Amino acid sequence: MDQMTTTTTKTATGESKFEPQPAKTDSFIQITDLTKQFPIKGGLLSRTVANVNAVQGVSLDIKKGETLGLVGESGCGKSTLGRCIIRLIEPTSGKIVIDGDDVTHKKGEELRALRRKMQIIFQDPYASLNPRMTVGSIISEPLEIHNLFDSKKDRLDRTKQLIELVGLRPEHINRYPHEFSGGQRQRIGIARALAVDPSFIVCDEPVSALDVSIQAQVINLLMDLQQRLGLTYLFIAHDLKVVEHISNRVAVMYLGKVVEIAEAEELYRHPSHPYTRALMSAIPVPDPRKRDQRIILTGDVPSPINPPSGCHFHPRCPDMIEECKTTCPSLRETRPAHRTACIRA
Amino acid sequence: MAAYIVRRILYVIPILFGITVITFILFNMLMGDPATRFAGKHATKEQVEVVRAELGLDKPLPIQYINYVKQIATFDYGRSWSTKQKVSTMVADGFGPTLCVTVVPFVASIIFCVGLALIAAYYRGTIFDKGIVITCLGLMSISSVVYVVVLPNWLAFQAGLFPISGWDPSWTDRWQYLILPWIILFVLSLGPTILFYRSVIMDEAFQDYVRTARAKGVSSQGVFLRHILKNAMIPIITMVVIEIPFLITGSVLIENFFGIPGIGGLVFKALNESDFPVIKATTVMMSIAYMVFNLISDVLYSVVDPRIKLS
Ligand SMILES: Nc1ncnc2c1ncn2[C@@H]1O[C@H](COP(=O)(O)OP(=O)(O)O)[C@@H](O)[C@H]1O
Ligand SMILES: [Mg+2]
What is the rounded radius of gyration, in angstroms, for the C-alpha atoms of chain B? 24
Residues B27, B95: one domain? no
Q: What whole-number distance in Å separates Cα of residue B249 and Cα of residue B266?
A: 10
* One-letter amino acid of A299: G
Lowest mean pLDDT among A72-86, B32-46, B168-182: B32-46
- The verdict on the CB of residue A37 being under 6 Å from ligand 1 is no
Of B74, B102, B120, the residue at which a domain comes to its end is B74
- The verdict on the CB of residue A201 being under 6 Å from ligand 1 is no
pLDDT value of residue A11: 37
| Arithmetic mean of pLDDT, B204-213 | 94
Question: Residue A106 CB: number of other CB atoms within 10 A?
Answer: 16
Of B10, B43, B74, the residue at which a domain comes to its end is B74
Interval between CA A311 and ligand 2 midpoint (Å): 23
| pLDDT tens-digit readout, B44-77 | 888 888 888 888 888 888 898 898 889 888 888 8
Q: What whole-number distance in Å separates Cα of residue A21 and Cα of residue A199?
A: 14
* Chain pair A-B, CB pairs under 8 angstroms: 65
Residue of A nearest to B219 (CA): A112
CATH of the domain at B134: 1.10.3720.10
Interval between CA A92 and ligand 2 midpoint (Å): 18
Interval between CA B241 and ligand 2 midpoint (Å): 40
The answer to whether the CB atoms of B306 and A176 lie below 8 A apart is yes
User: How many domains are there within chain B?
Assistant: 2
Q: Is the pLDDT score of A309 beyond 50?
A: yes
Would you say residue A158 lies in a domain? no
Of B26, B46, B74, the residue at which a domain comes to its end is B74
The one-character DSSP state at B159 is S
Residue of B nearest to A113 (CA): B217
Q: Is the pLDDT score of A18 beyond 90?
A: no
Q: Is the pLDDT score of B252 beyond 90?
A: no
- The verdict on the CB of residue A82 being under 6 Å from ligand 1 is no
The answer to whether the CB atoms of A128 and B211 lie below 8 A apart is yes
Would you say residue A103 lies in a domain? yes
- Which ligand 1 atom is nearest residue A73's CA? 22
- The verdict on the CB of residue A83 being under 6 Å from ligand 1 is no
Residue B294, domain extent: 87-304
Confidence of residue B311 (pLDDT cuts 50, 70, 90): very low
User: In DSSP terms, which residues pair with A332 in a beta bridge?
Assistant: A340
| Arithmetic mean of pLDDT, A155-181 | 95
Would you say residue A146 lies in a domain? no
User: In DSSP terms, which residues pair with B196 in a beta bridge?
Assistant: none
| pLDDT tens-digit readout, A243-286 | 988 999 999 999 999 999 999 999 999 999 999 999 988 766 66
Residues B10, B104: one domain? no
| Arithmetic mean of pLDDT, A207-233 | 94
With residue B198 as reference, give the H or E element that holds it: helix B171-205
Would you say residue A139 lies in a domain? no
In Å, how far is A236's CA from the nearest CA of chain B? 17
At A35, give phi and psi (nearest 5°).
Answer: -130, 140
pLDDT value of residue A6: 37
Confidence of residue A17 (pLDDT cuts 50, 70, 90): very low
Interval between CA A35 and ligand 1 midpoint (Å): 13
User: In DSSP terms, which residues pair with A252 in a beta bridge?
Assistant: A71, A260
Residue A12, domain extent: 4-117+198-340
Would you say residue A320 lies in a domain? yes
A141 lies within 8 A of chain B by CB = yes
Residues B197, B289: one domain? yes
Q: What is the mean pLDDT of chain B?
A: 87
ipTM score assigned to the predicted complex: 0.84
Percent of chain B with pLDDT over 70: 98
Decide which of B252 and A191 is more confident: A191
Residues B179, B300: one domain? yes
Find residues 38-57 of chain A whose CB sits inside 8 Å of chain B. 46
In Å, how far is B211's CA from the nearest CA of chain A? 7
| pLDDT tens-digit readout, A71-85 | 999 999 999 999 999
| Arithmetic mean of pLDDT, A41-56 | 86
In Å, how far is B305's CA from the nearest CA of chain A? 7
| Arithmetic mean of pLDDT, B33-45 | 78
Pick from B133, B131, B107, B298: which is nearest to B202 by CA? B133
Cβ atoms of residues A177 and A188 within 8 Å = yes
pLDDT value of residue A312: 94
Choose the residue to mutate in A38, A48, A120 for probing ligand 1, maximizing ligand atoms within 8 Å of C-beta: A38
- Residues 6 or more apart from A207 whose CB is under 8 A from it? A186, A214, A215, A218, A219, A237, A242
User: In DSSP terms, which residues pair with A261 in a beta bridge?
Assistant: A251, A339
User: How many domains are there within chain A?
Assistant: 1
Would you say residue B79 lies in a domain? no
Q: Is the pLDDT score of B156 beyond 90?
A: no
Would you say residue A212 lies in a domain? yes
DSSP symbols for A212-276? HHHHHHHHHHHHHHHHHHT-EEEEEESSHHHHHHH-SEEEEEETTEEEEEEEHHHHHHS--SHHH
A270 lies within 8 A of chain B by CB = no
Question: Residue A221 CB: number of other CB atoms within 10 A?
Answer: 18
Choose the residue to mutate in A49, A52, A78, A204 for probing ligand 1, maximizing ligand atoms within 8 Å of C-beta: A52
| pLDDT tens-digit readout, A128-162 | 999 999 999 999 999 999 999 989 999 999 999 99
**Order of strands across the sheet that contains A249-254:** A118-121, A200-204, A232-237, A67-71, A249-254, A257-263, A338-340, A332-335
- Name the residue among B209, B234, B307 with its Cβ closest to that of A128: B209
Would you say residue A96 lies in a domain? yes
Would you say residue B234 lies in a domain? yes
Q: What whole-number distance in Å separates Cα of residue B247 and Cα of residue B255?
A: 12
Pick from A120, A301, A127: which is nearest to A209 by CA? A127
Would you say residue A60 lies in a domain? yes
At A281, give phi and psi (nearest 5°).
Answer: -75, -10
- Which ligand 1 atom is nearest residue A305's CA? 25
Please indicate, yes or no, whether the overall pTM of this predicted structure exceeds 0.95: no
Alpha helices in A105-151 (DSSP H): 108-114, 135-145
- Name the residue among B209, B234, B305 with its Cβ closest to that of A129: B209
CATH of the domain at A95: 3.40.50.300
Residue nearest to atom 25 of ligand 1 (CA): A75
**Region class of A57: left (phi > 0), else alpha (psi between -120 and 50), else beta:** left
pLDDT value of residue A287: 61
**Range among A299-303, B117-121, B299-303 rated most confident:** B117-121
- Measured between beta carbons, which residues in chain B are less than 8 angstroms from residue A208? none
- The verdict on the CB of residue A78 being under 6 Å from ligand 1 is yes
| Burial (0-12, 13-18, 19+ Cβ within 10 Å), B141 | exposed
